[in-house]
Amino acid sequence: MIAQDRSLTPLAIDIEHVICDMNRLFNPLHKDFMLDYKVQATRDGYVLLTIALPEGMTKVFASMLESMSGFFHFMHIKSKSVKASTAVLDPAELASRENRIAAFTDKVCTLYDGFIQQGHTVKESVSLTNSALKQLEHPWACYDSIMRVLRSSGRFRKDFNLKRCDA
C-alpha cells in the first residue's frame, strides 16, 4: 500500500504490525490497547463479554484468535470480580439467602428441642438432629453446621429454657 492510499483508508494502521505484536494487541493494560471491551453480569450466573474490533481487522480476526489467550485470562478474572460484586448487592438474592438460612436454623432448633424434650442427652440430640436432616437429604446436613446453628441460638447455655430459635 502506498502512502497516499494509506491516508484514505478508514483504518490507517499497519495491520501486519498489529497482528504480530502479541504484547499489545490484547493486553488491556498496554497504553496502545486498541480494542474496546465490556464485562457485564447477567442472570443465572452468566457473564456477557463484549469486544468491539476496528473495521479493518474483521478480515484477519481468525488469525488474531491465537493471541487472545492472555486477554481472555484477564477477562475471566474480571468476570469473577463482577459476578462476586453483583451477587452480594442483589436484594432478591440476599432475601432468598436469608430465608434459606432462617428455615434451616428453625428446622435444626425444632428437631434438637424435640430430642431434648424426649430425654436425650445434648450429644445424642445433636447426632439425632444430624441424622434426621441427612434423611431429608438437606444439603447443609453436617455436624459442623448443626453445631454452629445450635451455638448461635444459645442451645448449649445452661440457663436456656426451650424456646424457638431467635437467630
27-71 pLDDT, tens digit each: 667 776 667 778 888 888 888 888 777 777 666 665 666 666 778
30 to each of 23, 35, 50, 133, how far by Cα in Å?
8, 11, 19, 54
Q: Do 47 and 98 sit in the same domain of this protein?
A: no
How far apart CA 14 and CA 24 sit, in angstroms, is 13
Nearest to 67, CA basis, from 92, 99, 35: 35
Task: Please check whether residue 119 lies inside any domain of the structure.
Answer: yes
Domain containing 115 equals 92-152
pLDDT score recorded for residue 45: 84
Task: Please check whether residue 163 lies inside any domain of the structure.
Answer: no
Residue where a domain terminates, one of 64, 89, 114: 89
Buried b / exposed e over 101-117, threshold 16 CB at 10 Å, is eeebbebbbebbbebbe
Q: Do 53 and 116 sit in the same domain of this protein?
A: no
Q: Do 37 and 81 sit in the same domain of this protein?
A: yes
Residue where a domain terminates, one of 89, 123, 138: 89
Nearest to 27, CA basis, from 67, 65, 55: 67
Q: Indicate whether this model's pTM tops 0.85.
A: no
Q: Do 60 and 77 sit in the same domain of this protein?
A: yes
Q: Do 54 and 16 sit in the same domain of this protein?
A: yes
Q: Do 71 and 108 sit in the same domain of this protein?
A: no
pLDDT, tens digit only, all 167 positions of the chain: 444 455 545 555 565 665 556 565 566 677 766 677 788 888 888 888 887 777 776 666 656 666 667 788 888 888 888 877 766 667 887 888 899 999 999 999 999 999 999 999 999 999 999 999 999 999 999 999 999 999 999 888 876 654 444 44
- Per the structure, the count of domains in the chain is 2
